[in-house]
Structure 1
Amino acid sequence: MTTFDNREKSFEHGFAIGSELAFKARARRNQMIGLWAGEKLGMDAAAADAYASELVALDLKPEADDVVFERIAEDFAKAGVAQSHHQIRRNMMQMQIEAERQVRESV
């Protein structure tokens, strides 16, 4: 193998690991935002955990961030929870940062 082949395999391996870590971070973020939203919706711990798991499953769809956001925004509107779209997005971003930190530390 040439040096170029080794570099190519190294970059491919790094990309695969980065993609896996990004997926894990999004799943963790969705779990965290689901628990937060469940609390705001007045759910007990078991219901909030089930709600969070539903949000994690939504991540398998295209444009998952928008799907998760829209689900939370709709559920808040139905329940009369006073959270602006900006507040929901801000919490999602903050939880994404925290989730990425947690995933990096677990590796």
Structure 2
Amino acid sequence: MTTFDDREKAFESKYAHDEEMRFRAEARRNRLLGLWAAGLMGLEGDAAADYARSIVVEDLKEAGDEDVFRKVKADLEAKGAPAGELRAKMQELMAVAKTQLMGEVE
């Protein structure tokens, strides 16, 4: 095996690892977002956990964050809860999710 082959495998492994971490961070962010939104809608306990799981599943429907944004925004508006800070909250919770994952990896 040549050095080039070794480098290629290393890059492929890094790419696969990075994609897995991105997926895990997005799933965690979506769960945290679901719990946050559930609190705004007055959901507690199992109802809040179920709602958070539904947000994680929602993200699997299409690429990107727009599917999650649309669902949470519509749900918040339907319950009369404020949805104005939703995009900022999504960014904030992505940072939290990445930090949590990095703590698990170490």
Could you tell me the TM-score, scaled by structure 2's length? 0.94
3-state SS of 1:93 partner:
helix
3-state SS of 1:100 partner:
helix
3-state SS of 1:9 partner:
helix
Post-superposition CA distance 1:11-34 (Å, at most 9, x none): 000000110011000010000000
Name the stretch that deviates more: 4-13 or 58-67: 58-67
Q: Which runs of 5+ in 1 are unaligned?
A: none
Per the alignment, residue 16 of structure 1 pairs with: 16
Q: Does 1:65 align with 2:65?
A: yes
Could you tell me the TM-score, scaled by structure 1's length? 0.94
Name the stretch that deviates more: 33-42 or 61-70: 61-70
Preserved CA contact (<8 Å) 1:58 1:64: no
* Runs of 4+ in structure 1 over 6 Å off: none
The root-mean-square deviation of aligned C-alpha atoms, in Å, is 0.9
TM-aligned CA deviation for residue 73 of structure 1: 0.6
The amino acid that maps onto 2:33 is I
